[in-house]
């Protein structure tokens, strides 16, 4: 992606944030990198996508929400701010220090009673939920390590019911956004981004999902990306 496209996409994202009034919602967030052993990656969702999650929550009215990938809790707070009084979010995070910062953010923004953070490998936590027959979730948001997306989706389906809404972020491999349109052939040859390619094929062909993928703009560099919304049949 050249610098002109980069600047254009950044401008478009700023415009969408403004039109969505997403930037009017500013969470008081603890992001002190000195509190962590490694620098916090700038990978939280854009404000307008937070607003989209909030709108989906309001439309779907879920009582049980599962999030895979907490980081600092930015997307979690967008969802928690609009859930019904009797609803609750379980969010999974592998990094203890990120989880601790997220909990601080929830307390600061008076949302802590609506959210439980479970620390550990997400696949292990999900399998524990399945083994203990955790009640089905009504809404699931997946935004974690891409190599395990297919496994997360399988676990999410096991923890779903008919009419569960599953939302997944970051579905355009970086090579495509840079103009490489030959991803399919490369994926079949063991290309490094094939996990996302294969995940998208699973969404496309799975008989229990009715899916729409929406183009988005990711990160501070304005890279093209996508978000999926799937309804479990």
User: If we measure between CA atoms, which residue out of 183, 119, 173, 118 comes closest to residue 147?
Assistant: 173
Cβ atoms of 212 and 194 within 8 Å: the answer is no
Sheet of strand 223-232, all strands in order from the earlier edge strand to the far edge:
115-119, 88-93, 64-68, 139-142, 165-169, 223-232, 209-218
Q: Regarding predicted confidence, which is higher, 111 or 30?
A: 111
Domain coordinates in residue numbering, the chain: 3-232
* Residue listed under structure tokens 């967030």: 29
Residue that is written with structure tokens 């401008």 in the block? 11
Range from 5-14, 32-41, 196-205 carrying the lowest mean pLDDT: 32-41
Name the pLDDT band for 41 (thresholds 50, 70, 90): low
Contact 35, 97 (CB under 8 A): yes
pLDDT in tens, 176-224: 655 555 555 554 444 445 788 889 999 999 999 999 999 998 766 677 8
Asked if residue 179 lies in contact with residue 1, where contact means CB atoms within 8 angstroms, the answer is: yes
**Would you state the pLDDT for residue 155?**
98
Q: What does the pLDDT read at residue 34?
A: 45
Tokens encoding 202: 């699973």
Identify the pLDDT of residue 36.
Answer: 45
Q: 80-127, pLDDT tens digit by residue?
A: 999 998 999 999 999 999 999 999 999 999 999 999 999 999 999 999
Spell out a b/e string for 69-87, using b for 16 or more CB atoms within 10 Å of the CB, else e. bbbbbbbbbbbbbebeeeb
- Which DSSP letter does residue 180 get? -
Q: Which CATH class is domain 3-232?
A: alpha beta
């Amino acid at each position: 992606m050249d610098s002109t496209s980069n600047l254009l996409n950044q401008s478009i994202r700023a415009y969408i944030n403004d039109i969505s009034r997403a930037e009017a919602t500013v969470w008081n967030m603890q992001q002190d990198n000195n509190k962590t052993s490694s620098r916090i990656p700038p990978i939280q969702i854009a404000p307008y996508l937070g607003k989209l999650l909030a709108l989906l929550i309001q439309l779907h009215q879920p009582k049980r929400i599962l999030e895979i990938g907490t980081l600092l809790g930015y997307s979690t707070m967008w969802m928690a701010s609009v859930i019904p009084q009797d609803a609750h979010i379980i969010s999974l995070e592998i990094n203890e220090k990120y989880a601790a910062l997220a909990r601080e953010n929830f307390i600061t923004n008076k949302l802590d009673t609506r959210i439980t953070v479970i620390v550990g490998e997400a696949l292990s936590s999900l399998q524990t939920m399945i083994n203990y027959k955790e009640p089905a979730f009504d809404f699931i948001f997946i935004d974690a390590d891409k190599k395990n997306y297919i496994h997360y989706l399988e676990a999410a389906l096991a923890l779903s019911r008919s009419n569960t809404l599953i939302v997944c972020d970051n579905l355009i491999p970086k090579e495509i956004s840079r103009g490489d349109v030959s991803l399919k052939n490369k994926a079949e040859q063991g290309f490094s981004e094939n996990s996302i390619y294969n995940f998208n094929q699973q969404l496309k062909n799975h008989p229990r999902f009715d899916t729409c993928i929406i183009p988005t703009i990711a990160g501070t560099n304005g890279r093209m990306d996508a978000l999926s919304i799937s309804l479990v049949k």
